[in-house]
Chain A
Amino acid sequence: MKTRTLLRCALATAVAVALAGPAWAGEPITATFWYSYGGKVRQVTEEMVKKFNGSQTKYRIDGSFQGDYFQALAKIRAAITTKTAPAIFHVIGEAMPDLWQGGMFENLEPYVKSTGVKSEDFVQALSQHGYFDYYGKSVPLFAIPFNRSMPVMYYNKDLLDAKGVKVPTSWDELRDAATKLTVREGNEVKTWGFEVPVDWWFWHGLLYQAGGSLLSADGKQAGFRQKGGEALQYWVDMVNKHKIMKRPGGKDYNAWEVTNTDFINQKAAMIFTSTAFVNYLTENVKFKMGTAFLPKKEKFAAPTGGTFFVMIKDATPAQKEAGWAFIKWMSEPSQAVYWSQNTGYICTNEPAIAGAEMQKFYKENPNYRVAYEQLKYAQRMPFTPALIRIQREVIQPNLEAPVIGLKTVDETMAAAEKAANDILAGK
């Protein structure tokens, strides 16, 4: 009899504990965070996740590495279909309109209001409302800037000084500088004057520098044919006519790696790549390195890049609560500063940038400041679900053909314009 009562008590206690659940036992609410970078940036991300988990006991974020941005986009769709999606994700701006329309994202305005986050503290050009041109539509806040960047020009100061070349500020100056800096030994090129991945992002910059725009003023038609052609022709001529630009091989981010490696090995004197690599390049180059705005044609212009934090609508309320706590913490001044100083991405917190710590940092590391200053020339992306398809299917795969001499720039741009209009019309 006594044993039976004892057993009953034990059972009742066990049930009570199980029902009271994690809160009673002190278990943190967990949420998964999918992230997608390699190298230094991945290290810093993992450090910060650990820091967040260590700084409080209410929430725990489990980070999970997913390959590059585009691999992660494929995985997130599969995950949503099978209802195993993470709570927090980060995504490139170009993909957001399509995914928002597909119902993937949680509306973040209630979270912002209830936790007292001040949206005006975010650097406006880096925020969602500063990134897009909504063409008069009203779109709620669903994304918080995370690792935001701009393309910048990196130059090998030693090589430029040795030849007495000034840092170029226009397309013509870049062409002249690259000509002076290209070194040939017989058939082989020892140093290329200029190198840039033949990529949508840099083409976008050149398009706007030439005075063009991606879409028409009402956002309904493709508008890039002529000026986009000028931009492409500039590259085509530098590679094939003047032979001063190297076209790095490999698709997508493989080409970016080649560009960085060539710059570090002094095989390219000037490159365009993201400010996100400023930390990596600073640590690896054995020469004096400088950064500068992308050269202008009619005006200075450049897109912003990188990703935004988003929350998946299908996650449970508890997971979303944990996710928001993490996102809010990451956007706080000390985290924003730490993130920016250790990677090279632009600090997203305006008061932090104006503060003493960042100002001192920029003074000692002027290369980190350039992207922030270039923000005043940032170009907006059109908020349309067609944007990601225009990037991935219409522009990106077709930029290469004229550069390697398979098609003319006119042919390519005409076909691209038609394809873009088909996509905008919903075909």
Chain B
Amino acid sequence: MGWTRLIRRQTLLGYALILPSMAFFFIFYIYPVVYSFYLSFFTWDMLKPKQFIALRNYQELLGTEEFREVLGNTLTYSLGVVGLAMGFGLFLALLLNNRTKLSSLFQACIFTSYIVSWVAVSLLWIWMLDPQYGLVNYLGSFLGMSPVDWLGNHSLALWTLVGVTVWKVIGYPMIIFLAGLQSISQDYYEAASLDGAGAWHRFRYITWPLLTPTTVFLFITLTIATFQGFDIVNIMTQGGPVHATSIYVFYIYEQAFHYFRIGRASAAVMICFGLILALTYAQHRVFRRKVHYTQVG
């Protein structure tokens, strides 16, 4: 068999083998995004024929107070969850960074909430946070607290959701940080202790810089994940009270399936896509120079 024929056959074989995955990817990822882009220039309620309205969906979105509120809520929710989850996750990782059985037990317990379904967690916490019948207020009454309407108070509701989210996801940054901690060679710590460095110095000058790849990874993935938050809002507050907990993906769902404004929802999807793209790029550029990778050998 000639050389070029062999190459061509192998190339064709290669494409044939990835065809199923590519087909899946195109049908369920690329096509919907492109179709959404197309729909964002129309007004459509899934019943009557589509009406072309050019950029009016975008203008209406960017002009409404509610949309700006949604963006603000999403940012607050995201930064709140990322900051608290990473902070407490790192703290737990430092605490549990040893090989005792007790540590393993704690790690497993903390991680279980991460793998349980969002729906189950949301339903559980709705009852725990109920102002009249809930466990949280009941325990709070022993500390002299008067009952708090965690999910019904306009200023408090979003932070309540942040709290529930951090409770649920904290296992994830904890595990990732543990992996990061364990990849730091003990030699550095030995050398530092010999030189007389205390615990804080060891953390500030060895642990923290060498954790930067982990930190950046977690920051980016957690931010993107929180931008996609939906279940918790849909089950616990449905965006209320009065849009206090309406975050981006829920807003899109509401526009599409409660109000049947498919065009406007698609425009919101496009704006979200653009924002996450910009955010990811910005994070990448900001952290590129700050990430320290250990030299091997």
Instruction: Give residues in A with beta carbon < 8 Å to B.
Output: 70, 73-74, 77-78, 80-81, 98-99, 101-104, 187-188, 247, 249-252, 254, 262, 267, 389, 392-393, 397, 400-401, 404, 406
Contact = CB atoms under 8 A, between A and B. Distances in A.
B47 A99 contact: yes
B48 interface: yes
5 contacts: A74-B258, A77-B45, A78-B46, A98-B47, A101-B48
Contact of B241 (A70, A187, A404): A404
B52 interface: no
Contact of B154 (A188, A251, A404): A404
A333 to B, nearest CB: 35
Interface stretch (B91-99, B143-151, B218-226): B143-151
A251 B239 contact: yes
B83 interface: no
B260 interface: yes
Interface in B234-259: 237-243, 257-259
A267 B45 contact: no
A99 B260 CA distance: 12
Interface in B142-164: 146-147, 149, 151-152, 154
Most buried by A among B48, B149, B242: B242
Interface residues of B, number: 23
A203 B121 CA distance: 34
Contact of B152 (A188, A249, A393): A249
B11 interface: no
A254 B257 contact: no
B152 A267 contact: no
B234 to A, nearest CB: 10
B242 A401 contact: yes
Contact of B47 (A102, A250, A392, A406): A102
B132 interface: yes
B239 A187 contact: no
Contact of B151 (A74, A81, A101, A249): A249
Contacts of A262: 132
Nearest to A385: B48
Interface in B35-73: 45-48
Contacts of B48: 101-102
Contact of B238 (A77, A250, A393): A250
Contacts of A252: 238
A74 B146 contact: no
A167 B146 CA distance: 33
A98 to B, nearest CB: 8
Contact of B242 (A78, A267, A406): A406
A78 B260 CA distance: 11
Contacts of B46: 77-78, 80-81
Contacts of B239: 251
Contacts of A400: 240-242
B150 to A, nearest CB: 10
A254 B45 contact: no
B147 A187 contact: yes
B8 to A, nearest CB: 41
A252 B242 CA distance: 13
B146 A187 contact: yes
Contacts of B154: 404, 406
Given A74-B260, A392-B259, A393-B259, A188 B146 contact: yes
